[in-house]
Amino acid sequence: MKLLNDHLKEEYGCKVYKLSLQLNVTCPVRDGRLDTRGCIFCSEGGSGDFAACRNKSVTEQIAEAKERVLAKAGTHAKYIAYFQSFTNTYGDTDYLERSYREAMEPDDIVALSIGTRPDCISDEMLDILGKLNKIKPVWIELGLQTIHPESAHYIRRGYELSVYDECVDRLRKKGITVIVHVILGLPGESHEDMKESVRYVCASGVQGIKLQLLHVLKGTDLYQDYLQGKVPVMSMEEYMELLSELLPLIPDDVVIHRLTGDGPKRLLAAPLWTADKKRVLNEIKKLTEQ
């Protein structure tokens, strides 16, 4: 099992921090191309509620984000510029390319990480990403969430599994690092279903995986279903049990980027135990050190 922090330490010889940045973008599940309601679990912040303010330039956002981690990071740390919220390859290509380049410019930014969807990477965008990947590593984070069609329909993902497969193939042909998000605890999914998703992702030729426990955030349609008793919520013990089943399925060449979710406290409706980050991380540490 390889965790992201260990992988980055090996690669760069020091701790590497992710700086969450925002672009002026939306996504096809919100702008009407596929839907206007957003994915069922997604908050208004577009799954990036901790990111910096999108009205500021990328350079300003980087400076502010660094300021926030300075006490922990010190002056010799390295960083990854992370465009997390919404669909960061969806929009005006010139604007996007300019923004990516601006984010990669500083010497202490060692990689660019871009959160997006597999149905939103045009050939033109792929060429841009391929070019940038020759300057500094480009990571593409794909929100797959599940391989199961019923769950994909429930969350309003809006694309088929074959679109994911094809996208991974195109990105890998350009040598781009691919990281895939999987949500654990979607309504109706058994442990076996989740194992199938993790196995599938690990066998699909990607370099990283993010496992995120389903968070019910206030203001989302998922919250409405939760209030009606349609969304079962795992206890911490159940979640740790599930992780202990999933972790052995992940080979060492697929780096584990995350083992829990990071929903903002002010919006979190359930499971509330996840707000106690320290306790959760301690439990996860016990698991990963076994």
Q: Is 186 in the site for ligand SF4 (CB under 6 A)?
A: no
**Identified binder of ligand SF4 from the candidate list 39, 80, 168, 256, rule CB under 6 A:** 39
Using CA atoms, how far residue 79 sits from 18, 55, 75, 229, in Å, is 6, 21, 11, 42
Residue 53 CB-density burial (10 A; 0-12 exposed, 13-18 middle, 19+ buried)? exposed
Q: Pick from 38, 185, 261, 263 the residue near ligand SF4 by CB under 6 A.
A: 38
Handedness of CA 64, 69, 73, 79 (dihedral sign): negative
Considering beta carbons, is residue 150 or 276 the nearer one to ligand SF4?
150
Q: How many of the chain's residues bind ligand SF4 (CB under 6 A)?
A: 12
Binding to ligand SF4 (CB under 6 A) within 55-94 occurs at 86-87
β-bridge mates for residue 218, sequence order = none
Per CB under 6 A, the list member of 20, 22, 47, 204 interacting with ligand SF4 is 47
The 10 Å Cβ neighbour count of residue 276 is 12
* Alpha-helix runs per DSSP H in 43-122: 58-73, 93-104
First-residue to last-residue Cα distance in the chain: 11
Q: Closer CB to ligand SF4, residue 38 or residue 91?
A: 38
Tell me 46's DSSP state: -
| Binding range to ligand SF4, per CB under 6 A, among 22-30, 126-134, 171-179, 222-230 | 22-30
Q: Rule CB under 6 A: which of 129-168 touch ligand SF4?
A: 143
The contact mask relative to ligand SF4 for 227-266 (x = CB under 6 A, - = no) is ----------------------------------------
Binding site for ligand SF4 (CB under 6 A): 27, 29-30, 38-39, 42, 46-47, 86-87, 117, 143
